[in-house]
Amino acid sequence: MSTRARRASVVDVAKLAGVAVGTVSNVLNRPEVVAPATREKVMAAIEELHFVRNGRARELRAGRISTVGAILLDIRNPFFTDVARGAEDRLAQDDYTLMLASSDDDPAREQKYLRLFEEHGVHGMLVVPTGPDLGPLLAMQDRGVRMVVLDAPSSLPELCSVAVDDEAGGALAAGHLLSQGHERLVFLNGPHTIRQCAGRRAGVDRAVREAGLDPEQVVVEVLLSSLDAAGGDEAMQRILDDTGVPSAVFCVNDLVAVGVQRCLRRVGGAELLTRVAVVGYDDIDIASELAVPLTSVRQPTHEMGSAAADLLVRADLTVEHVVFQPELVVRASSVAHRGGLA
């Protein structure tokens, strides 16, 4: 029908309703100050013209901006989308909207989106940086865009940040295994250049020391290059071949743990699988759906997003560094002699 008819504007509405543009604006934004009769007329005109106000003009004039941007490392990673979801929920309370983009760990893409969002005039940004160089973020903050760095490899004191206490996570897992009576534990970790990995290792050591033991005697750390199921499977196989069956294995993430379980079953069937205690990290959705439900360290993704969003919309501009505590979710994989599965 309407091939390319210009969208109706407040002027059109005003004309049709027989009032001034200011009045239209008022019924839109402060309905209480306009008399019911005129309000009705205006509403009717809006209805008739299918008027939808132009957000760009609105924000241009009003200066207000009601969207915040987020740049994640990978939009397909559940960890990040869960965080985004938490942020979105919090933002919705204040009528903000969230625009998502993923950098794919590519600094160029990160830059591009950063600029795009800034041009768009977002209120603030929520970013998981691709690299250690936070300069551009700081510059943008100086230009008036609120910033929160998420889960960052290293963070500047001038930038708000939200992260998880990896050391506590490592300690939680190791402490749990020690309390189950295990006297040695294998830690399948990633390279220490990744801050998270180093932190978790430190936590493991701390827990061991707190149990009155010597980390050097208790912990066998194996560094993986690929942190997925294949990597876990392979590493576990090597351990079985070289040093025999371990009593307990702590994995840097759940996928690695899945690989470990797969290897154990292949080699020794259900019997071996239930004999070795396994703990993962991240508590991904399927952790509870595995043949042997996996004990895992859960990061409070939703709360992280929520907290980050909170920093973005709150009135004061104080810089704050929020650190969340992870939580241990105990399932069958780390509990000895689980009846139903023997």
Partner DNA sequence: CGCGCGGTCCGAATCGTTTCATTCGGATCG
Partner DNA sequence: CGATCCGAATGAAACGATTCGGACCGCGCG
The tokens describing 304, both together, are 């992280």
Beta bridge partners of 69: 99, 125
CB of 123 to a copy of itself, least distance (A): 12
CB closer to a copy of itself, 74 vs 327: 74
Question: By CB under 8 A, is residue 56 in contact with a copy of itself?
Answer: yes
State the residue for tokens 């980390």. 215
The pairs formed by 210-219 with CB atoms below 8 angstroms and a separation of 24 or more are: 210/171, 210/175, 211/175, 211/178, 213/178, 213/183, 217/184, 218/183, 218/184, 218/185, 219/174, 219/184, 219/185, 219/187
- What is the number of other CB atoms lying within 10 angstroms of the CB of residue 171? 24
CB of 44 to a copy of itself, least distance (A): 17
Q: Which does 96 bind (CB under 5 to 8 A by kind): DNA, a copy of itself, none?
A: none
Among 30, 32, 36, 119, binds a copy of itself (CB under 8 A): 119
CB closer to a copy of itself, 4 vs 36: 4
Q: How far is CA 69 from the centre of its chain?
A: 14
Q: Which does 216 bind (CB under 5 to 8 A by kind): DNA, a copy of itself, none?
A: none
CB of 249 to a copy of itself, least distance (A): 17
Nearest to 169 by CA among 302, 277, 329, 306: 329
Q: Which stretch binds a copy of itself (CB under 8 A): 28-36, 75-83, 194-202, 308-316?
A: 75-83
- What is the number of other CB atoms lying within 10 angstroms of the CB of residue 56? 10
| Interface residues toward DNA, by CB under 7 A | 6-7, 9-11, 18-26, 28-29, 33-35, 37-39, 51, 53-54, 57-58, 60-63
First-last CA distance in the chain: 69
- Residues 194, 195, 201, 205, CA torsion sign: positive
CB closer to DNA, 12 vs 167: 12
Question: By CB under 8 A, is residue 84 in contact with a copy of itself?
Answer: yes
CB closer to a copy of itself, 101 vs 160: 101
What beta strand segments (E) does 193-317 contain? 219-223, 248-251, 277-281, 295-298
Q: Which does 23 bind (CB under 5 to 8 A by kind): a copy of itself, DNA, none?
A: DNA
CA dihedral 82, 87, 91, 93 (to 10 degrees): 60
Residues at the contact surface with a copy of itself, assessed by CB under 8 A: 1-2, 4-5, 7, 50, 52-60, 67, 75-76, 78, 81-82, 84-85, 88, 97-102, 113, 115-116, 118-121, 139, 142-144, 229, 255, 258-259, 261-262, 265-266, 269-270, 286, 289, 291, 340-341
